[in-house]
Amino acid sequence: MINKRRIYSLNGLPPETVAVAFAKSSRSPEPFDEIAEELSEEKSSKFHEKWVVGYGHSSVAEHAVLSLAMENVSILATKIIEDNRLASYTEKSTRYQVFDKTKYYKPKKLMDSDLGKLYEETSDFLFDSYEEMIEKILPFLKKKYPQEDQPDSLYAIQMKNKALDNIRYVLPVSTLTNLGMTVNARALEHAAVKLLSSPLEEMQGIGEEIKEAAIKVTPTLIKYVKPNPYLKCAAEKISKHESITPKENPGKNQVELVEFDKDAEEKVIAGILYRCSSAPYNEIKDAVKKMTGIEKEKVIDDALSGMEKFDWPIRELEHTFYTFDILMDYGAFRDIQRHRMVTQTNQAVTVLHGYSVPEEVVEAGLKDTYEECMKKAEKAFDTLKKEFPDEAAYIVPMAYRKRTLFKCNLRELYHFIKLRSGKMGHISYRRIAQQMYELVKEKHTMLAKYITVDRSE
């Protein structure tokens, strides 16, 4: 039948061949599968050499998708890898799996120095304490959460997970973990370049191994990856600027709304009305300014009141932005950083802002042991940083706080608060999401009206 709609998958073909099949469709009237049948890996490679490499048509590379498995990379490295927005990641969880002292990264130049022994002894102490504290907190948790109608095996898993959830804060960010990454070749090239341009040896090595693994799948699209002089130079120049010392340490996790659109409600309403109008934006916004509060709220209600559990709000909420300065422990950061649609600027891992202490660690009588771990790590960090300012970060436990500047549009904020305030989440990032909601509600009650937030503890 002429012009019959066809929707089908090109799975099973090499990623470079898929990319060429889609690219050639812009100039060929043939169906995708017929184009693909005529392509060999050699022809695909020649096409990419000419158009992607030669003429810079990089968007073609977005159709070549790879799934990379990365094993035994540090937690610190995963956060640098995951700082690439256009990819999907799944990481081994510290909340459900036990780690031991055979599983941490040892920076070569640090280990070859006189400070290698200090790094190793401190790391081993943290892991030994981690294992001991897991065993010690279990009886307390079983008493606090008595078994009801759960099967023995399920109850044991629940208690183990609660124990790990509390004690994971002792793990240093050198802890080795596994990461799965699905990404297109264009984004992967950018990610590999960033890694190769890092001052850290581990990141450079991961960048090289990503390149080697990707070349086996997309030999043309990734082969010219190399360190970027601009990225290296810019990082070095910026690091030389005088560091501004904070006036005081808040002593706890903290969320501040530092910037927002004063006219956020009018921007969103104008965006909503723009869709169904033929007038220019400025005229619509002028009309919105003259509307009463009741009229404005009616527009918001009509646009958002019908949302159900799995619905996303309309895109017009993207017309206004909020910027938060978040001081949080590294454990919370690991989850919050996953919201890659957000614009994030991260400060370095440090011990400057103190650390979080899980409430159940205190209740279980393990506070002294926990704080001894933090003191040893902090002392080691201060010593290591003098000679190895970049590598010193590896010794910092996940309990320590760091700052992140977090800028997002209102639509993403709807998603973030709903997901991260939920009961299944960790209390540290639940409280961050709850604070975000309160701060937005205080400024723009009308826009916060339909945000789903779980305020329970």
Whether 110 shows a pLDDT value over 80: the answer reads: yes
Question: Residue 320: which pLDDT band, with cuts at 50, 70 and 90?
Answer: very high
What is the mean pLDDT of the segment spanning 441-456?
95
What is the mean pLDDT of the segment spanning 189-198?
95
Amino acid at 161: N
Looking at residue 53, its pLDDT comes to 55
297 domain residue, yes or no: yes
Tens-place pLDDT, residues 20-38 = 888 887 777 888 888 888 8
6 domain residue, yes or no: yes
Distance CA 385, CA 133 (A): 28
Both tokens of 394, joined, read: 């590896």
Looking at residue 263, its pLDDT comes to 96
56 domain residue, yes or no: yes
Distance CA 219, CA 119 (A): 40
Strands 176-184 and 87-91, by their bridges, are antiparallel
Distance CA 305, CA 398 (A): 40
Residues with Cβ within 8 Å of residue 336, at least 6 apart in sequence: 326, 328, 404, 406, 420, 429, 432
Q: Tokens 């209600």 belong to which residue? A: 301
Both tokens of 258, joined, read: 């530092």
Domain limits for position 1: 1-63
Least confident of 44-58, 154-168, 256-270: 44-58
Amino acid at 391: E
Looking at residue 190, its pLDDT comes to 93
Looking at residue 299, its pLDDT comes to 97
Looking at residue 56, its pLDDT comes to 55
Amino acid at 406: F
**Nearest Cα to 246, choosing from 352, 324, 350?**
352
**Nearest Cα to 384, choosing from 136, 30, 114?**
114
In percent, how much of the chain has pLDDT > 70?
96
Looking at residue 3, its pLDDT comes to 78
Q: What is the DSSP string of 252-268?
A: S-EEEEEEE-TTHHHHH
Whether 409 shows a pLDDT value over 90: the answer reads: yes
Domain count, the chain: 2
Looking at residue 51, its pLDDT comes to 56
14 domain residue, yes or no: yes
What is the mean pLDDT of the segment spanning 309-323?
95
Question: Residue 268: which pLDDT band, with cuts at 50, 70 and 90?
Answer: very high
Least confident of 220-234, 274-288, 399-413: 220-234
Cβ contact 312:412 at 8 Å: no
Looking at residue 369, its pLDDT comes to 97
224 domain residue, yes or no: no
| 3-class DSSP assignment, residue 39 | coil
Residue where a domain terminates, one of 15, 34, 63: 63
What is the mean pLDDT of the segment spanning 345-358?
95
Looking at residue 153, its pLDDT comes to 95
Strand order in the sheet with 321-329: 254-260, 321-329, 401-409, 343-346
200 domain residue, yes or no: no
Looking at residue 55, its pLDDT comes to 45
**Nearest Cα to 23, choosing from 9, 39, 4?**
39
What is the mean pLDDT of the segment spanning 47-59?
61
389 domain residue, yes or no: no
Across-strand partners of 400?
355
Whether 2 shows a pLDDT value over 50: the answer reads: yes
What is the mean pLDDT of the segment spanning 416-420?
96
| 3-class DSSP assignment, residue 141 | helix
- Intra-chain end-to-end CA distance of the chain, in Å: 60
Whether 98 shows a pLDDT value over 60: the answer reads: yes
Average pLDDT value for the chain: 92
| 3-class DSSP assignment, residue 84 | coil
Positive or negative torsion for Cα 261, 427, 90, 127 = positive
Residue where a domain terminates, one of 282, 300, 316: 316
Burial class (CB in 10 A: 0-12, 13-18, 19+), 321: middle
Residue where a domain terminates, one of 316, 331, 349: 316
In percent, how much of the chain has pLDDT > 90?
73
Alpha helices (H) along 82-228: 108-111, 116-144, 152-167, 185-196, 201-215
Burial class (CB in 10 A: 0-12, 13-18, 19+), 56: exposed
276 domain residue, yes or no: yes
Question: Residue 330: which pLDDT band, with cuts at 50, 70 and 90?
Answer: very high
